[in-house]
Amino acid sequence: MTEPAGTGARRTRRIEVPLLARVEGEGALDVTIHDGQITGLQLRIFEPPRLFEQFLVGRHHSEIPDLVARICGICPVAYQMSGISAVERLFAPDADTLTAAWVRRMRRLFYCGEWIQSHALHIHLLAAPDFLGFDSAPAMAARYGDELRRGLALQALGNRIIALFGARSVHPVGARVGGFWRAPTRPEVAALAPAAQQALPAAEELVRWTAALPLPRHPQRFNCVSLRHPTEYPMLAERIVAESGLDISLDDFERHFSEHQVPHSTALHALLDGRPYLVGPLARINLNHDRLHPRVRRLLGEIGVDFPSHDMTHSIVARAVEILQALIEAADILANYQPEHPACTELAPRAGIARGVSEAPRGLLWHRYDLDDAGMIAHARIVPPTSQNQARIEADLAATLTAVGLQEDDATLRQAGERVIRNYDPCISCATHFLHLTLHR
């Protein structure tokens, strides 16, 4: 902490949080307080450009799944599904064959695995230690060992589901435009199906446990944004909706959503019609609680949890709810599995703009590719959830630190700030874009 000299020294102070532990990537938070109010707040993220969008330029569309999977080690399936669906919507907008129906169902199972593993990791290794007053999950283990083991078992199950189709759980390689490279065999699925069914009580207990956590209460006003599907809880869908009344095709994303650079960060900030908004599990449940499985809705009624909620601390409960939702669906698909051969449909390329979107564990993930008639990529744009939540995170930080009390000592404010940021589960590297490259030779 530094204080300026002179008469304002007692009224103005600047707090720096130099490192956000347990968050992937590097960041810092600068807060300026003057006369008992926050007059400046910047979540600073500085990382080298990773060039993924530029790497895609000049590549064939068939390379998209393997390349974009490397953007994130935690949610590679989301990047693959957004990219693949973009290409397929352009090449075969009316595809409705038996193979296509099988592929859609298996992709949902594939995606369920990612939601389960990612949410389980965040709840038990990032968020729960914060809310229970521990510095880390290992420190929490002495008192909450059974809960951690339950969470890690769920994460491992999610990884097994991903590997069933992806050959491995990190940067899976099984997905392709048109479907999958191979269909899992019946014995492979039979080895996994009982584990999914047996894990359902653990997932229900996780919902009960998160709902009983001593969560600080800081309700706020924010605009939730998510996908909306006619019948399903959204993972892959074509409509984007918001609490503000927005209801658009994913093709109209760029007409309403904009990204911009801020001087204090290499991560872009996104706005909806000029204002911050929220994506992620809490936004999804707020907008789609009527699409939850009846078993999930019954449990929420039994324990007295009511959505929609505008308290961001309820994100941890929302993640547990989505684990249960995904596990119920995964258990059903596995129990009724039939392989399909071939596991894909060959699609002929054509020129045009390919747009796709899906719900990553952290929220809306939108892709755009400009393709030529040979299926080569001329331009790529990827809008990840973290960049969409950046402005919302800064607004939340200001509101939460003010509610905690700006007169509190630096350690208290630092802890509160880190808890807010980790609660969003930000993947900072995923939100760091390379905007423009000019070479002078």
The model carries a pTM of: 0.91
Euclidean distance between CA atoms 302 and 13, whole angstroms: 47
- To 10 degrees, the CA torsion angle through 53, 57, 60, 64? 0
Q: Is the pLDDT reported for residue 96 higher than 70?
A: no
The two three-digit tokens of residue 86, written as one number: 């973009």
Q: What angle do CA 433, 438, 441 make, to 5 degrees?
A: 145
Amino acid at 168: R
- Provide the pLDDT for residue 439: 28
Rg from Cα positions in the chain: 22
Using the 8-state DSSP alphabet, how is residue 213 labeled? S
Residue 415: its H or E element:
helix 410-423
52-390: which CATH architecture? Orthogonal Bundle (1.10)
Is 195 exposed, middle or buried (CB count within 10 Å of its CB: 0-12, 13-18, 19+)? Answer: middle
Q: Is the pLDDT reported for residue 433 higher than 80?
A: no
Q: What is the pLDDT of residues 299-325, one digit of tens each?
A: 999 999 999 999 999 999 999 999 999
Q: Where are the domains of the chain?
A: 52-390
- Provide the pLDDT for residue 437: 30
Q: What is the pLDDT of residues 120-141, one digit of tens each?
A: 999 999 899 999 999 889 999 9
Euclidean distance between CA atoms 407 and 34, whole angstroms: 11
